[in-house]
Structure 1
């Protein structure tokens, strides 16, 4: 990130510290609001189920109380036990029963009809006339031995309204004197539709389900009496302690909330579509989205304004600096304000003018002076003449059997030939080491056993290019200064090896070493450092290290394989 441009950094900062927190905060608010609303709806449903439970239980208690009243009431006992329909007591009991049932039918609209059947075979019907197969209910009542037995929802045919669904209570009425002796059966039928209408249903679908999974109450008539066949759902209804259950049907998510009806094997359930739960969140969702968009728009406007007034000017200054680096000394920055960036622009313009002035005076003058000196030096001696003359002397020495003299002249010829090198500035490491070995052989001829030589070249880099005569000044410095009056044999070790994308050349001797205050004052070292700085620049150069004995000078050079690309080196230094 340190190497990123200001524009990129500012965009990242804008995204990370403005856009992302705004979006995340909006999502957090929406998520928490959604959760709160869902919990509130769930609480409302549970509260509604509690109310509906009380309503249903009230109906159940009232109907069971009606049946219990028939056990002790004289009129009902007379009806159930009297076989003579013409007797005055029988007729009187019928009138009392009619009055009681008329009151109940008028007071409780959910009661559809009432059927009394005596053990003597008499039947008495009140309310809506219906017929259907209820034999299983009679058997269940007999098995109940006087306890109230509630049926699941079943279908009957009404003479008034056709087919309809009812729930009924069936109960055996036993003799008070012989409590195990049935004297009749009472059946009170309840209108399922009217019961459902009396229940409070604010959201979703309300239903009452039996333990077997049969639907007892439901607002949709076509589902009454049907069984719910989802095993997982039935397991939750009958066995789970969790009040809520989430499930998916036809790619829609639903939430179910249940409430056991105490005293029965029924469970009241509300099923709500999750999408309906969050409909009232649309306003909040829109407000959050609009708030996020508004903040992002304001942030984008602020970013654009800051970019135009600051970052763009810095980028322009950077572009002009790069133009200056490439040699365009006419680069000039437009200064539109006097703030820090404006002052920096003015200083840049002033610097460009100063550099241009120095180039026009000192640099160009120095170049011309160096060119004149070089030309004068070249005119002093013809190197080709000198090389050819030495070659002639070498062959003459061989003809006279002066082999050692001939070898020395040959080494000197190699030195001159490498110096010429067809005017080339760059040579391979292998060629440079041939030149160094020739130079060292000449020095060894002069010094004899006082000089020992050791060289090493990494085979992988021997064809890499370096500037010629980079190593020779260091070797010469070791011989002239490091070994002067040395009481032991002088050893020079030269190592050439690769370190990543660089070539390291170590020149090591066991001489007197460098004095700390004179490491950079020697002419050879100083001149070589200047050549390296001009030719290569950072991070390349010369290091003077301090071993325990002698001296170690390290050349750090670029790893170059093509001399034609050497001119590009300065663009990256």
Structure 2
């Protein structure tokens, strides 16, 4: 069954199957394997790079935080600071206060210059003369009730990290800060002040570098509030959760989008280094590599097809031309195959096909000639039958007029009959224009008017484009004659109207011969039940069929007592193309 199925395929399909099996299939397989391997390798490399960047940032921040915490320890253990604060303002005169705090200020400046802090501020008893609002030594009451201050005061001496804005004369400046309590050495249950070490956020942001442009990385506090991020991005500000992920990324969803998420606490500071990467951004590099590989394979396949095309065309091109010509023969179109001759097997087949077409065309031409002669003989025979029919009727009418001694009418009828036969002879032509046919009908009606005393009204409405259309000679006159003899004259009053309309529609000539006679009924087969023998109508049907090559070119529409319409619908044939 499979052998028969493959054998029924066209030559082009067979070649395409061979190309697919032995050309495209290996390429696609190679591409798929390569893409999967490179995709996995790229993902691994990207994950490694992202994790390494994150680990470096985490390590750098952890070291920086550790150094700041160590700096805070050095400050709270400074003897000069501890002695000054423990004596209290009530036990020191102004000079001692100024001298002592100048030493503390000098020591603090040394620490600021040798560390990564952006400033160190002390909150001390308001009664010290050096305490102020925008100095290194500030009044302790200014921070009463502030959340970050309460957090430091309840920390039992441990370093506390927080973010806040330091209000100065120059404006509000945001900082990441470390706060520690200054204890009373006489009573460690009592705090006598607070030290706050400021860290500028700009150097911290410089550490928060991104591996991919779409990545968001920043510092968050334990409540999920943003402290510093790599740039003004909204993803971290809308984060509804904050949790540590350990040493790797986790998949999360935010606002219907998928992200890769990682968060780790920096030491024990309560500050978290958090980063998020959109999954689509994470796969962008993989997609880019895949696109490059796909482009390369498409180019290879295109080159392969370009090289194969001339070969397959030389094999199949002439075969397909032969097949199309054979299909044309089935539709009745006999045309030779006009291609450059060759001596191979297909070339010999083409030569044999052209020889066969020449032979068939010669036979068809001979057959056509014989057929035309036969049709011409049949048309002439039918024409010769219709001519005596009219002549007999006219001579009978002349005899009737002679009996009634209507000499004037006889003379007019003879003149009209002469004009009639001049048109009929028409230099021996069997086909005339619609204009001549209407003239014949008009002459016939003129002759009949002599007999019926002008009781026949004859009218025409013909479009100009239809006047030069060709018809077999004496097509309309017999129909007009039927309208008069079997329609109008059978009415009690013996008078009526005949109306001929003509137009060209969709390259077909449409004629209507209408009278208001007594009408007629139909046979069971749908043919009209004529009052006479019906020979004239059959003669017209046959001649139209022979001339135009179509059946049912004429049909009737009538009912007893309502008149009759005769329709002729034939292709347009003009004298210049006949």
Maintained 8 Å contact 2:504/2:510? yes
In the alignment, does 2:555 pair up with 1:555?
no
1:466 match? 470
SS of match in other structure, 1:414: helix
Maintained 8 Å contact 2:118/2:199? no
2:294 match? 288
Alpha-carbon shift at residue 406 of structure 1 (Å): 3.7
Maintained 8 Å contact 2:328/2:334? no
Maintained 8 Å contact 1:545/1:554? yes
The CA deviation string for residues 47-76 of structure 1, in whole angstroms up to 9 with x for no partner, is: 7798679768866885787689789xxx93
In the alignment, does 2:417 pair up with 1:412?
yes
In the alignment, does 2:324 pair up with 1:315?
yes
1:95 match? none
User: How far apart in 2 are the matches of 1:370 and 1:57?
Assistant: 113
User: How far apart in 1 are the matches of 2:334 and 2:453?
Assistant: 53
Maintained 8 Å contact 2:502/2:511? yes
Distance 1:353 1:465, change over 3 A: closer
The CA deviation string for residues 484-511 of structure 1, in whole angstroms up to 9 with x for no partner, is: 9968669765432443432211345624
SS of match in other structure, 1:407: helix
1:173 match? 182
Alpha-carbon shift at residue 526 of structure 1 (Å): 5.3
Alpha-carbon shift at residue 409 of structure 1 (Å): 2.9
User: How far apart in 2 are the matches of 1:320 and 1:413?
Assistant: 52
Alpha-carbon shift at residue 312 of structure 1 (Å): 1.0
Equivalent of 2:364, from 347, 355, 361?
Answer: 355
User: How far apart in 1 are the matches of 2:444 and 2:188?
Assistant: 142
In the alignment, does 2:114 pair up with 1:129?
yes
Equivalent of 1:543, from 554, 567, 576?
Answer: 554
Alpha-carbon shift at residue 313 of structure 1 (Å): 0.8
Maintained 8 Å contact 1:317/1:345? no
Equivalent of 1:457, from 456, 461, 468?
Answer: 461
User: How far apart in 1 are the matches of 2:523 and 2:485?
Assistant: 9
Maintained 8 Å contact 1:196/1:217? no
Maintained 8 Å contact 1:454/1:493? yes
2:509 match? 503
In the alignment, does 2:445 pair up with 1:440?
yes
User: How far apart in 1 are the matches of 2:426 and 2:163?
Assistant: 118
SS of match in other structure, 1:123: helix
Maintained 8 Å contact 1:256/1:270? yes
2:82 match? 81
User: How far apart in 1 are the matches of 2:272 and 2:419?
Assistant: 114
The CA deviation string for residues 526-547 of structure 1, in whole angstroms up to 9 with x for no partner, is: 5545544554445x86133464
Maintained 8 Å contact 2:514/2:566? yes
User: How far apart in 2 are the matches of 1:532 and 1:287?
Assistant: 72
User: How far apart in 2 are the matches of 1:192 and 1:517?
Assistant: 103
Alpha-carbon shift at residue 290 of structure 1 (Å): 4.9
In the alignment, does 2:478 pair up with 1:478?
no
Distance 1:216 1:322, change over 3 A: closer
Maintained 8 Å contact 1:208/1:267? yes
The CA deviation string for residues 301-327 of structure 1, in whole angstroms up to 9 with x for no partner, is: 49747852542113344678999769x
Distance 1:278 1:341, change over 3 A: farther
In the alignment, does 2:186 pair up with 1:182?
no
Alpha-carbon shift at residue 436 of structure 1 (Å): 0.6
User: How far apart in 1 are the matches of 2:315 and 2:460?
Assistant: 59
Maintained 8 Å contact 1:118/1:184? no
Maintained 8 Å contact 1:67/1:186? no
Distance 1:465 1:309, change over 3 A: closer
Cα RMSD (Å): 7.0
Equivalences for residues 36-75 of structure 1 within 5 A:
none
Larger mean Cα displacement after TM superposition, 423-432 or 514-523: 514-523
SS of match in other structure, 2:77: helix
Distance 1:513 1:364, change over 3 A: closer
TM-score normalised per structure 2:
0.50
The CA deviation string for residues 448-482 of structure 1, in whole angstroms up to 9 with x for no partner, is: 38985654424455644333635336427736995
Distance 1:553 1:312, change over 3 A: same
SS of match in other structure, 2:422: helix
Unpaired runs of at least 5, structure 2? 1-11, 86-100, 122-133, 144-148, 154-159, 167-174, 242-251, 385-397
User: How far apart in 2 are the matches of 1:555 and 1:45?
Assistant: 89
Distance 1:278 1:79, change over 3 A: same
Alpha-carbon shift at residue 283 of structure 1 (Å): 4.5
SS of match in other structure, 2:473: coil
Distance 1:133 1:64, change over 3 A: closer
SS of match in other structure, 1:471: coil
SS of match in other structure, 2:554: strand
User: How far apart in 2 are the matches of 1:481 and 1:514?
Assistant: 21
User: How far apart in 1 are the matches of 2:111 and 2:210?
Assistant: 31
Distance 1:351 1:485, change over 3 A: farther
